[in-house]
Structure 1
Amino acid sequence: MVDRIHSDQTRLSKSPLFFIASVGFGCYLGWGMLGSSPSLLSPVIAQTVSRTAIGDGAERVVWMLAIAVLGLWAFAKRHTNFSRKPISVAAGIFTAGGTIAIYATGALDAENILTPSLSQLPIALSSLYILLWGEQLCLLNGKQALQCVLIASFISFAMVVFCSALPPAAQAAAQIAAPVFSSAALLCLEAKRPDREPELISENAPKFPLRAFVGIGLFGVIVVLLQSFSEGKTDQPNELLWVIAGLIVNAALFLASIASPKEIKASFLSKLVLPLLVISAFFVFATDFGQQNVEVFAIGCSWIYLRLFTWIIWRIGALSSNVPPMSVIAIGQLILTAGTIAGGTIHTAMTDFGASQLMTIAFICILGILVAMFFLDTRYVAELADGPVPFDPEDRAICERCVDNATAKYGLSGQERAIALMLVRGDDNDSIQNELVIATNTLRTHLRNMYKKTDAHSREDLVLLLRSLTHHK
């Protein structure tokens, strides 16, 4: 799988595919941002817009169930070819169709026919986009993936600003069109992708990065707590400041990624987690006379940073795990969702039991230190990010390493080792026979013996297995 990812990274890094991925991803995020920012849109449709946000009712259950099912299905299909096109089409149809149903219910005042909760169920399948776009990020290298997330996130906030200046009908049309464009981008990327080879996951790949994913979930707990305590000071949260914070954070990091001659490592990004949480906590609890703009902006920066950092960690986890990317991202999203739900539950419990401000601050700070110093420790994130070694058939050192590891692991003979090296380089049977001066039947015999030793079922399986041994120890 490593060599397929490497070749796809090269393909997707080139414009206009990178542009299509960034805009398509941004359309999905923008659809969600519009649903989360009803106060910035027309009062005529504000209540209807708010229903497109995934709440805690039946739609949340369907939303999580869709993620779990697709993640399990991708894991079951890990050794076979399967097209992402039907999933992309289904995500677009249900998300756009559900959004239309919600607007129609509100416009026709037909809640007695189609209740709000029932009309929200189709948009729950928007969660399919998370796995689809998360997998697309795995086809980019580190710098390009970060820039793609930053551009997409910036587009999502810019969509809110742009739509706020439109008439109500145009605002509704923009939100309906967003998932359609997102699916169209996914279909375009899928059409440009070469035929997929069966994915062979190396048994020697690092273990699943559960520690990092739990850290993201706990990060979510803290951000939800800070947001809940801050919004408890007012009846009208300032959503505009959140949008401004989003634009500033995304623009600043994007400019930094362009200006820096080197890639901005995930380990560096992890250093900013604790300062952001501490600053946000300070502003939330420093004043008791209503919600202040500075605390809204600080929490907005923390929330946006959580979203950006989450995609980067999920991508790293997917590339460093022996589980298919879709399955890895599904687990990551379910853990993050559990964290945000836990954050709301903890806030309710603290409020009901009258927890003191000192106790609340202590709990948040201790949890933040735990996240920054253990779950998302800089050294651990760096090791996780540097784990997989991309395969390059033109890099003789990597080819030799693959073959040496295979020889040690499977006991290849000298002639089998020579054949393995040429297979790893991508040579065909004629080239192997000419270079080694062997007959066709002799080559077939050696290949059968290698299949038996490695438990491979075909030439393609054998090549993928050999190329996956770049980091075997």
Structure 2
Amino acid sequence: MQRAKRLLEGLRIHHLGFGFFWTVTFIVLAGFQGAGAVADYWQIYILTEQTLMPLAVGALGALCAFRRCELPHWTASAASFMLSGAALLYFLAFHFGQGDGVIAAAAGILMGGSCALFFLLWEMFYVTEGQQRALICIPLSAAMSVGLYLLICLLPSIAVALTAVCVLPFLALLCLQKSLAEIEADVTAPLTRPALRRAVGELWRPVLCVSILGFSWKLIAGIEPAQSSGGAAVLVGFAAAALLVVALELFLSKGFDILHICQVLFPALTVVFLLPSLFGQQYTTLLVAFLMFGFEVVNLLLIITCAVYTIRNGLPSSPLYALCIGPVLLSMAVGSGLAELLGPALSDDLAHWTNVILLCVVLLSVALILVTRGKGQALASMTDAELLNRGASLRRGRRDGRRDASSTENGTARTESEPRSLDAAANAEAGPAPSDGPSEQQRRIHSYLEERGLSPREIEVAELLMKGHTVSAIAGKLFISENTTRGHAKSIYKKLDIHSRQELVDLDDQLTRA
């Protein structure tokens, strides 16, 4: 219970703003029951959106890695306008009878681009000031989006359109901007080739397992006979998965590996896969719901795994997110495309249906073999100790980033041989064993801060900021709220005549070398 209280303490509604974006995606991607030319436009819309989204995530991640910086905050406005435009074109094309192929394609392009931007921007928040919240905010936002979607569906169609086009994108933008305003754009270690190889070596198993499950879910959902209960089954599976992940993160204090969850889910999924073949296609809806549940559990855990891995290694968030989630999005697009090609022929054909089931079972078996041989190096959670103290790994990432920048200016390149563990990094940052009193350097820094008029509490906050601790970590150490910590930080910046945390860290380096 202490872990749950620590994670929920200081939680603000704008930290769940991802749910407003998710609600819009439910509305405009929930499905379309139509025929003729409009159904063809729907296929163009879905194909464009599902193709562009992984490409946009990959391109933006590669751009951030190449430029060694994260996305600027103003891109949040671009993401919101694109989301609103996509929703407007969606309703024009599929509800108000004004659509054609061009409008459907434009809606898919805007939707895919906005999804990519929202994904990367929220991930950037979660791995900086929001990393303690990432464990709980990501699944809570998912669960909240289902509730919002069900409430909005009770409104008249005009009200639904107005909400999806104007209200929800505005709320998504407001929450994202307010969350991004809480973070500082500190320098992080660039994604070097050794770091990239290490990340691929430690993350490819969970990424491949989630990709296989995403492909299977899209394929089965696409060839399922049209039923009114299909959409409800997906929502139930999504909500149940989100609530399960919330429970796992709140109450498992020792952390856990995503591969361990897969070891439980995949055998159960294999059994459910056999139900339509053995007892008839009336069990297809149950299969789709269970597939959605299983996929969303591991998908949410993979997003959290990506955030935790980024935090532990002090790496840039956008390239790591593209590395983890890009293949999953691409596999879902492939599964959906294959279902479009095979769906009409397979819907009422038991033999072909059985062949598709067999293909999915084989893929799950391959994934299960990978799961059992996994090393479990990429955790999908953080231990209680890490929630209280994560400053060492973050400071290491910032110093590595500055060292890389200096090496680039001098025409040299830094290489890495072996990854340092979190404990080793913490020991390195801790420095020599503590003595009976403060060191000369600590006294010099303390005197400097006193001369600038900082109060005793502000000096405590400033010293922790200089060591690389985040606002949430400082609040936990000093037993004060995050808002109080931010207030102290603003006062410190004003009294020291600086404008960012990076300047404060640089000041610490100058005083240490003096």
Q: Give the match for residue 94 of structure 1.
A: 82
8 Å contact from structure 1 (residues 153, 250) kept in 2: yes
In 2, Cα distance between equivalents of 1:382 and 1:172: 40
SS in 2 for 1:266: coil
In 2, Cα distance between equivalents of 1:461 and 1:383: 33
* Cα RMSD after superposing both structures: 4.6
In 2, Cα distance between equivalents of 1:314 and 1:399: 21
**TM-score normalized with structure 2 length:** 0.64
Match of 2:10 among 1, 12, 15: 15
Correspondence 1:170 to 2:159: yes
8 Å contact from structure 1 (residues 75, 327) kept in 2: yes
Q: Give the match for residue 22 of structure 2.
A: 29
Q: Give the match for residue 368 of structure 2.
A: 369
Distance change in 2, residues 1:300/1:13 (3 Å): closer
Moved more, 319-328 or 195-204: 195-204
Match of 2:104 among 94, 104, 116: 116
Uncovered stretches (5+) of structure 2, i.e. residues with no partner:
1-5, 396-423, 433-438, 452-501
Correspondence 1:125 to 2:113: yes
**Cα deviation digits, residues 169-207 of structure 1 (max 9, x gap):** 1222222232321111111122333x5343355989793
Give the letter aligned to residue 327 of structure 1: P
Give the letter aligned to residue 152 of structure 1: S
Q: CA deviation at 1:301?
A: 1.2
Give the letter aligned to residue 91 of structure 2: Y
8 Å contact from structure 2 (residues 85, 107) kept in 1: no
Taking the TM superposition and a 5 Å limit, the aligned residue runs for 1:68-107 are 68-78=58-68, 84-106=72-94
In 1, Cα distance between equivalents of 2:320 and 2:299: 17
8 Å contact from structure 1 (residues 138, 319) kept in 2: yes
Give the letter aligned to residue 13 of structure 2: F
Distance change in 2, residues 1:228/1:465 (3 Å): farther
Q: Give the match for residue 180 of structure 2.
A: 190
Distance change in 2, residues 1:300/1:466 (3 Å): farther
**Cα deviation digits, residues 204-258 of structure 1 (max 9, x gap):** 9793245424532432223432552465352326110221222233334434554
Give the letter aligned to residue 367 of structure 1: V
Correspondence 1:325 to 2:317: yes
In 2, Cα distance between equivalents of 1:458 and 1:167: 53
Give the letter aligned to residue 159 of structure 1: L
SS in 2 for 1:196: coil
Moved more, 133-142 or 324-333: 133-142
In 1, Cα distance between equivalents of 2:329 and 2:51: 11
**Cα deviation digits, residues 3-34 of structure 1 (max 9, x gap):** xxxxxxxx997635x43111x11111222122
Moved more, 142-151 or 163-172: 142-151
Distance change in 2, residues 1:233/1:334 (3 Å): closer
Distance change in 2, residues 1:346/1:321 (3 Å): farther
Match of 1:263 among 253, 256, 278: 253
Correspondence 1:63 to 2:53: yes
In 1, Cα distance between equivalents of 2:449 and 2:244: 54
Distance change in 2, residues 1:358/1:144 (3 Å): closer
Work out the percentage of aligned pairs sharing the same amino acid.
11
Distance change in 2, residues 1:321/1:384 (3 Å): farther
Taking the TM superposition and a 5 Å limit, the aligned residue runs for 1:444-455 are none
Uncovered stretches (5+) of structure 1, i.e. residues with no partner:
1-10, 406-417, 433-456, 468-473
Q: CA deviation at 1:94?
A: 1.2
SS in 2 for 1:115: helix
Q: Give the match for residue 219 of structure 2.
A: 228
**TM-score normalized with structure 1 length:** 0.69
Distance change in 2, residues 1:363/1:345 (3 Å): farther
Q: Give the match for residue 390 of structure 2.
A: 390
In 2, Cα distance between equivalents of 1:227 and 1:185: 30
Correspondence 1:299 to 2:262: no
Q: Give the match for residue 146 of structure 1.
A: 135
